[in-house]
Structure 1
Amino acid sequence: MIKKILFAVMFITAQLSAQDYYFKKYHPFDPDVPSPEEFLGYGIGEHHTRHDLIVAYLTKLAEVSNRASIHQYGKTHEGRKLVILTVTDPNNLANLSSIKEKHLAFTDPNQNVSNYGVVPIFINLGYNVHGNEPSSSEAALLTAYTLTASNHPEVLNYLKNGVIMIDPTINPDGRDRHTQWANTYQGNPLVADPQDAEHNEYWPRGRTNHYWFDLNRDWLLGINPESRGKLAWYHEWYPNVVTDFHEMGTQSSYFFEPMKDNGSLNPIMPKENYVDLNNLFGEYFAKSLDSIGSFYFTKEVFDGTYPGYGSSYPDLQGGLGLLFEQASSRGHKQKTAFGEITFPFTIRNQYVSSMATVKAAVENKETLRKYQQKFFKSALSNAAKGRIKGYSFKDFYDQNRVKAFIDKLLLHKVDVYRSGDGFVVPTDQPQYRMVQTFFETYDKYRDSVYYDASAWSVANFYNMKYRPVNNLNLGEKVTDLNGLVEVTPVKKSDYAYIIDYDDYNAVAALNHLQSNGLVLSSSFKPFMAKTTEGNKSFNYGALVVPVSLQKKDADEIYSLVKQAQQKFKVSMFAVDTGYNIKGIDLGSRYVSPLTEPKAAMLIGDGVSSYEAGEVWHLLDTRVHMPITKIPMRNFNRADLDKYNTLVMVSGRYSWSENQLKKIKDWVSKGNTLITIGRASKWAIDKKLVKEKLIAEEKDSTKTVERKPYVDAPENIGKEEVGGVILKVDLDTTHPLAFGYRDQTIPVYKNNSVWLAPSKNEYATVAKYANNPHIDGFITEKNMETYLKPAASLIVSKLGGGRVVMFADNPNFRGSWYGTNRLFLNALFLGDKIRVPE
């Protein structure tokens, strides 16, 4: 027996010693809890660990340790589990519901609890939101093992005074895409040459999720299931500290907060957060990294101005969000200016920072508790000081867009009430700062160079007509989405059905009916019809389903129409005559039959995976329409004649003359090319169309002013358009603008593509307004020289076809419900655009 015990101890010691590079200081470990190396069969850092193995290991820890429990909070687009391992003292774990109740009391501004040092602090360690920044998920395994197995007095103190919630992989789909790549090309011996395939992933790379979205920009927008699941979890627990672990360029070192100053003139997050708490925690991180000889930097970059990061969203929820950036090995080992950087080295820095975060949170739990309580109480006091008492909004014509906007408000626990025929959001609520984020706009800033967007007023994303109110008329509180869209069931007709095209979901209904074999027409002029529900006025674009002209019988047609209405909640009407009360009749030449779109999109090296993913996501998840994704490497042999619409998003299209001719010939046959952002600039530069860009006139006689070299990055950077919301004047009679009632709508600009208005007086669909600024930073030079004279959307004739050119991205981050319709109209109505000579 003694020999067996001795053998077991020696075996365990041998297992641990191989990984002592990471956690030597936390011995002794419980031999009944398997180390990551023992469970996986290889040491952390020797390979990239698949997400299913990460989940399996954390599940094993929850099975064998009385300190841990595991919870699934969602699934990814590809069906991978999103999990959180909660680790704390066994007594805390057994009474977690009670502790949670006491913890949440600090988030209720109407309670006055003062047991700051009694309730364990809640810490959320979040890892790997960018899939090809993999070191942090490996560090998550080491952290989970340390907290569940170590019997070191320091760790036991953490468990007694903290509840640590480990989210090992926020982006499992992207991580596994990168893991597969890195392990596939891993050499033996390892290849450190930066040019090796292991260090150079193929497009779209593993940074993004299934639809190529950057999930670190999705906390505010909540488009993807990964983010929605995490937000639901977040608002159940309100952790005091949240980590956000990343990687950056191989030649760098290590970054931790404090960040560069917030770019907002008056940030809505308390100064105590981004000054006092960040500096307090920064001292812990510096000490821990100093102890292992790692170099680092702070304050220079990575501003937290945009509220949708994993490191900034918690700052608007009474917590402390913490960003970490580790120089990446982009594989298992890579050469740098200082020698070689290895995967284990990157993992150790992330692990050390994880444990330092726990230490800092536990040792300052009273400070963090007081801060969280003060945060939510100040929300009410700040709201009380303001003249604005709420924001009202409504849209009579587009209930589904309003519903989508309310869904976003409810996702962030913002209180919404019915008020008359619309809705109102009061400022007097715990989520006052989120109300500010949704509705407030700014034109003055402290800084001019941003790591990301400088504009994010979400109401403008949805083209929501809202206004501040000083007197509230609160009706029923909206608690869910039920009943927000009400449509009268369509009655059966043997003549025709008319579908209101003003609703956001009308395009999805159109696609549903077309894909089921029906031919629909679009009205190019308004009219008033006598429907079975009474007289009804219809706007540009109203869809007509003629019954007698279909290949299906009246009963089949009615069944499909009802099905589309029930699925998409769009207003539909039956009519018994084509003779209208006002305007054109249903048999008019202005009621044109629509061709079902057969769409393709170019993807691959040189193409913006973000913009391509936004198109794919829009069509997949909201329109339910397939789009063929053609890799650039296959372009030469692709048969474009199978399609009537081709999408080109921003990118570098380095094509030969023959390839360019292939595009020209295809469009000239009567097809539609849709270009977005830099692809529109490309179309002009390559003389695909007879349009022009606005360029600054160079004055060769002007004396160049000498400036300090050190200021170059700031001076050059501020001229970039990082993200601004602007007003455009829209021609609502144009097919691309069908479904819009307002001639002025917001658009999002994050590029320097300046389209000159077309020389054809009928081809400029959207032009920037005379006073275009709504929200965000833009220099006076960009505003006056480029923006004000420019167009946002033009159509140019090419042979028998046309090129629809967007200067701005109408599908930005899957959130621009207000401009999605412009893009969808280009897909479904593009071939009906006749550009007059």
Structure 2
Amino acid sequence: MAFKYKPIVCSFVVSALFAFSPSLFATAVVTDKNINADNTATMWPGSQYNAAIPTFKSVLGYDVGERITSHSDMLRYFDALQQAEPQRIKVVEYGRTWEGRKLIYAAIGNAKHIADLDGFAKNMQQLSDPRKTNKNTAKELIGQLPSSVWLEYSVHGNEISSTDAAMMMAYHLLAAPNEATNQKILNNTIVFIDPLQNPDGRSRFISRYYATVGLQHSGDRLSAEHNEPWPNGRSNHYLFDMNRDWLAITQPETAGRIKAMNHYRPLVVIDLHEMGGDQSYYFSPSAQPFNPHMTKTQINNMNTIGKNNGKHFDRFGFDFFTREVFDAFYPGYGDSWPTFYGASASTYEVSSSRGELFKKHSGENLTYLNTVQRHFVASVSTAEAVADNHEQLLNDYYQYQVTAIEAGKNNKNGRVFIIPNERNKAGSHRLATLMAQHDVDVFKATEAFSSCGKQYQAGAYFIDTAQPKGRFVTTTFSKQVDMDSQFIKEQERRRSRKLHDEIYDITGWSLPLMFDVDVEQCAKPVTVASEVVNSDDKLLGNVSNIDATVGFIVPWGDMAAGRFLTAALLQNIVIKSADKAFVLDDKQQFAAGSLIIEKRSNDADLAAKIAKIAEQTGAQVVGVNTSWVTEGPSFGSDNTVNMIAPNIAMAWDEPTSSLSAGNSRFVIERQFNYPVTAIRTAMLKSADLANYQVLILPSGDYKAVLGERGAANIKQWVERGGVLITLGDATKFAAEPEVGLLDVKRERAFKDKATTDTQAAKHADDEAMVDGQLITSKDSLIKASENLQESPDFVAGVLANIEVDQEHWLTAGVHKNLVAIAYGNDIYTPIKLASGKNVAWFAGADNVLASGYLWQENKQQLAYKPYLIHQPMVKGMVIGFTQEPTARAYLDGLNVMLLNTIFRASAHASPLR
């Protein structure tokens, strides 16, 4: 498909410039008088469009589906629609991206509904809480309220077609109000359109895509147009897959979106994506398994909408499929999170042209216009189904709230979750305020209380699941959410046949486990004086004895102390850290890792600085008048190290996993508040790293890019005093024999010895012929076909229990038991004591699984294998995580361990300073 060099305002030369330059193209002044809106007319045949409503061409200079619309042009177009028809569309900014781009949604409906959007939101809030709105009042509201649908587009920035479909959807509703389908929609429904969830990623994609285009577009999948450089446009600025950020809400895009949806509570939510270009179109019903805390009514409503989509796709002659992939089990997607406030929701996926043209394996040329149209048709069809069933959907929504409260009251595992808030104050505060951000009712006790025979101090948080968001609390706080037994049985059968399992994503996600927060349950409601927890509540820091004569101690062990450390280091405050626990003057006990700040080593305004940092970080600080230690290391001991402000480098670019790199950089920069320098991976082959004390290799296969030369350069830097930290797959690189950075090896799948010996005798690869054998059953055939060199079975992602060495300086202040994600099939041998130390390891086979579903063979082989490895190397060291501690930035419970590997490790290295 060639560029369309049609005259626009003057000459061929100008139009060619516009074709190659989105910024120039965006400034073209075009009117409808000299343009035929060919593409627009074919999108929904038979529609009569009002010429007063601005088209793509009149605003942007090109027709729908002719170009990939930029974020700025999308904003211009919605602004033009609002200026033309302010009574029927309202555009609202709901946030800004990390790069400062505006995030908007548009509400479209009839003039009455748009004029009273605030009233609509207020009434939906009433309908959302049967504790305040009885069934008679609810019935009145249901008779008055319109239904609502929230259509969210392009959460993955390189899934491009849905944003243009969103723009076409808005135009179609406004410009053809008398079209039969639109009449139903506008009379009965408010349509919310979030046209571009990931502006930063889309902008990255578009700039690179059009930079590769030559005289004409290439549909060849080998062309540069269809092969994005690192990092691709899927993720946002911090390289997050934002479709998986709905639990932890770490990104501003997600936070703004959740706030808006909690405000309006749309009844149906659709998340529109793209998939492989050789596929067709996917919509609901979803694949198995469903989250057991979803209701049959919600699933049935999506089936109804799916049938309506199928009707229209048949009319247009579009292929589609349902149920075969994209399950509804994990509650942290854009299409699953809304179900836990009562919406019916689903993902839609269209085959992607990943540009303006793509040649499918069938030989068909898939155009951008084709992908835009299918998403547009699905959008109209969904809105129509919502309008057709508006009263039923409103009634089902209210009943969801009623049954959610009842389910909480009858929760056999315990109605109330209680967070004691004693061991990990920062983590408990983070979890409590996060749940408030999800619009969960969370309370903080203002006095001590008793519940189910246990005593709790003032400051404990509690959440009663007998509330409208109770199912969300249950599914995110429970240690285990089980997949359907028949689904599991089928996966075990497939595995026995050496077929791939159908588990789509992680199977364990308990937030208290991931945050390392103690949570207990009680079957009875808590009655105690309390205050409501809000999402913006600040963690309060405290400095006792601000006039201390000797100095200050910050107890180590949570993120508040970690943020205190980074803030103090960046302000050049001199700090020590104790490798072991100690007792001061027979009175005060402090955990290993605790920070010691002596007045004699710092400026005269130290107390004021300490007070301000404590206030900013929420840290607890103790002023001390003596340095007399009666147990453990003294302030001047060799076991009390001087902390430094390390310069941190991170590998950036191929072959680094962009998700691992982005997640890790985000955790360090935005949760630890400490800067990271990103260095192109290839430069590590020969770069002089003397300016850096810490180098982090995020997950990735570095062998081809770094090779022996790069490994040697890094090794020399480590030996001179550098701290190398490897995450996930990067540990695989460090363990390669020719690399020699870690003295461990990956394991093959464990095989029963008798089976191994028999198979080895009968399947010697270097023999032309082997002895004959009898195969007497299908099971024997499978065993005879088995590959003796295979890796352990792949794990989609579970939460695994970790045990921590409490006597190593690298784990100072780290809880003895933690939870991490186990993903993939890499299992490592323990490091020998002659080389280093296994600092943390997976628990025994009977206890290794914390949450999720793990194959029995993996349980057995993973048991007691290393999670965190420390290997000294002359003046420096290598620290290897065998899994990723920063995955999705929601493993908050591992953050103190990660802080130690950066800051305590660099303090323990001994370079020439």
CA distance in 2: counterparts of 1:663 and 1:509, whole angstroms: 31
Match of 1:209 among 233, 236, 258: 236
Match of 1:681 in 2: 732
Match of 2:341 in 1: 317
CA distance in 1: counterparts of 2:107 and 2:408, whole angstroms: 35
Match of 1:439 among 468, 477, 489: 477
Following superposition of structure 1 onto structure 2, how do residues 49-60 of structure 1 map, counting pairs within 5 Å?
Answer: 49-60=69-80
SS at match of 1:724: strand
Post-superposition Cα deviations, 1:724-768, rounded to whole Å, max 9, x if no partner, equal 11111111232222222x311211222322122222187111122
Quote the offset at 1:357 in angstroms.
Answer: 0.7
Match of 2:214 among 169, 173, 187: 187
Match of 2:452 in 1: none
Match of 1:748 in 2: 821
CA distance in 2: counterparts of 1:659 and 1:582, whole angstroms: 46
Match of 1:3 in 2: none
Is 1:485 equivalent to 2:561 in the alignment? no
Match of 1:692 among 736, 745, 751: 745
Following superposition of structure 1 onto structure 2, how do residues 246-645 of structure 1 map, counting pairs within 5 Å?
Answer: 246-262=273-289, 267-274=292-299, 276-338=300-362, 339-387=364-412, 388-419=414-445, 420=448, 421=457, 422-442=460-480, 444-446=482-484, 447=487, 448=491, 449-475=502-528, 476-480=530-534, 481-482=536-537, 484-488=539-543, 491-493=546-548, 495-529=550-584, 535-550=587-602, 553-555=603-605, 557-645=606-694
Query: After alignment, is 95-104 or 813-822 more displaced?
Result: 95-104
Structure 1: stretches of 5+ with no match in the other structure? 1-9
Post-superposition Cα deviations, 1:344-386, rounded to whole Å, max 9, x if no partner, equal 1110100010100111110111221221111111101212222
Query: After alignment, is 102-111 or 236-245 more displaced?
Result: 102-111
CA distance in 1: counterparts of 2:854 and 2:558, whole angstroms: 32
Query: After alignment, is 559-568 or 642-651 more displaced?
Result: 559-568
Counterpart of 1:411, as a letter, is Q
Post-superposition Cα deviations, 1:506-525, rounded to whole Å, max 9, x if no partner, equal 22222222222233111112
**Is the 2:641–2:908 Cα contact (8 Å) retained in structure 1?**
no
Is 1:779 equivalent to 2:855 in the alignment? yes
CA distance in 2: counterparts of 1:329 and 1:745, whole angstroms: 44
Question: Is the alpha carbon distance of 1:718 and 1:140 closer, same or farther for their aligned partners in structure 2, counting shifts above 3 Å?
Answer: farther
Quote the offset at 1:614 in angstroms.
Answer: 1.2
Identity of aligned residues (%): 28
Counterpart of 2:345, as a letter, is G
CA distance in 2: counterparts of 1:562 and 1:279, whole angstroms: 58
Counterpart of 1:313, as a letter, is W
CA distance in 1: counterparts of 2:100 and 2:258, whole angstroms: 18
Quote the offset at 1:309 in angstroms.
Answer: 0.9
Match of 2:178 among 145, 152, 155: 152
Question: Is the alpha carbon distance of 1:658 and 1:726 closer, same or farther for their aligned partners in structure 2, counting shifts above 3 Å?
Answer: same
**Is the 2:479–2:513 Cα contact (8 Å) retained in structure 1?**
no
**Is the 1:333–1:340 Cα contact (8 Å) retained in structure 2?**
yes
Quote the offset at 1:126 in angstroms.
Answer: 0.7
Post-superposition Cα deviations, 1:196-221, rounded to whole Å, max 9, x if no partner, equal 21211111111001100111011122
Query: After alignment, is 560-569 or 345-354 more displaced?
Result: 560-569
**Is the 1:511–1:623 Cα contact (8 Å) retained in structure 2?**
yes
**Is the 1:400–1:485 Cα contact (8 Å) retained in structure 2?**
no
Quote the offset at 1:489 in angstroms.
Answer: 5.5
SS at match of 1:82: strand
Quote the offset at 1:105 in angstroms.
Answer: 3.6
Quote the offset at 1:833 in angstroms.
Answer: 5.0
**Is the 1:418–1:474 Cα contact (8 Å) retained in structure 2?**
no
Aligned residues: 810
SS at match of 2:287: coil
Quote the offset at 1:182 in angstroms.
Answer: 1.9
Question: Is the alpha carbon distance of 1:706 and 1:156 closer, same or farther for their aligned partners in structure 2, counting shifts above 3 Å?
Answer: farther
Structure 2: stretches of 5+ with no match in the other structure? 1-30, 449-456, 492-501, 760-774
SS at match of 2:209: helix
**Is the 1:218–1:224 Cα contact (8 Å) retained in structure 2?**
yes
SS at match of 1:522: strand
CA distance in 2: counterparts of 1:309 and 1:803, whole angstroms: 36
Post-superposition Cα deviations, 1:265-298, rounded to whole Å, max 9, x if no partner, equal xx11012222x22221111111212222211111
Query: After alignment, is 639-648 or 478-487 more displaced?
Result: 478-487
SS at match of 2:403: helix
Quote the offset at 1:13 in angstroms.
Answer: 9.3
Question: Is the alpha carbon distance of 1:207 and 1:606 closer, same or farther for their aligned partners in structure 2, counting shifts above 3 Å?
Answer: same
Quote the offset at 1:428 in angstroms.
Answer: 1.1
Match of 2:866 among 791, 814, 817: 791
CA distance in 1: counterparts of 2:214 and 2:794, whole angstroms: 41
Post-superposition Cα deviations, 1:492-548, rounded to whole Å, max 9, x if no partner, equal 455332222223122222222222223311111222225xxx943211011112232
Counterpart of 1:811, as a letter, is T
Quote the offset at 1:232 in angstroms.
Answer: 0.8
**Is the 1:186–1:331 Cα contact (8 Å) retained in structure 2?**
no
SS at match of 2:277: coil
**Is the 2:408–2:464 Cα contact (8 Å) retained in structure 1?**
no
Post-superposition Cα deviations, 1:474-502, rounded to whole Å, max 9, x if no partner, equal 33132325465342356145533222222
CA distance in 1: counterparts of 2:628 and 2:647, whole angstroms: 33
Match of 2:252 among 191, 204, 225: 225
**Is the 2:541–2:614 Cα contact (8 Å) retained in structure 1?**
no
Post-superposition Cα deviations, 1:6-63, rounded to whole Å, max 9, x if no partner, equal xxxx946954334223233321x22221012211111122221111221221122112
Is 1:738 equivalent to 2:812 in the alignment? yes
Counterpart of 2:625, as a letter, is D
SS at match of 1:452: coil
Match of 1:6 in 2: none
Query: After alignment, is 49-58 or 575-584 more displaced?
Result: 575-584
Match of 1:61 in 2: 81
Counterpart of 2:284, as a letter, is E
Match of 1:764 in 2: 838
Match of 2:498 in 1: none
**Is the 1:92–1:160 Cα contact (8 Å) retained in structure 2?**
no
Question: Is the alpha carbon distance of 1:696 and 1:539 closer, same or farther for their aligned partners in structure 2, counting shifts above 3 Å?
Answer: same
Is 1:122 equivalent to 2:198 in the alignment? no
Question: Is the alpha carbon distance of 1:543 and 1:96 closer, same or farther for their aligned partners in structure 2, counting shifts above 3 Å?
Answer: closer
TM-score by length of 2: 0.85
Is 1:648 equivalent to 2:686 in the alignment? no
SS at match of 2:208: helix
**Is the 2:660–2:699 Cα contact (8 Å) retained in structure 1?**
yes
CA distance in 2: counterparts of 1:717 and 1:139, whole angstroms: 44
Match of 1:21 in 2: 42
CA distance in 2: counterparts of 1:745 and 1:635, whole angstroms: 33
Query: After alignment, is 804-813 or 342-351 more displaced?
Result: 804-813
**Is the 1:493–1:575 Cα contact (8 Å) retained in structure 2?**
yes
Post-superposition Cα deviations, 1:90-141, rounded to whole Å, max 9, x if no partner, equal 1222233333444444322232122545421111111000000010000001
What is the aligned-residue RMSD (CA, Å)? 2.5
Query: After alignment, is 301-310 or 493-502 more displaced?
Result: 493-502
Question: Is the alpha carbon distance of 1:87 and 1:718 closer, same or farther for their aligned partners in structure 2, counting shifts above 3 Å?
Answer: farther
Is 1:817 equivalent to 2:892 in the alignment? yes
CA distance in 2: counterparts of 1:732 and 1:20, whole angstroms: 70
CA distance in 2: counterparts of 1:124 and 1:538, whole angstroms: 51
**Is the 1:499–1:571 Cα contact (8 Å) retained in structure 2?**
yes
Counterpart of 2:570, as a letter, is S
Question: Is the alpha carbon distance of 1:220 and 1:31 closer, same or farther for their aligned partners in structure 2, counting shifts above 3 Å?
Answer: same
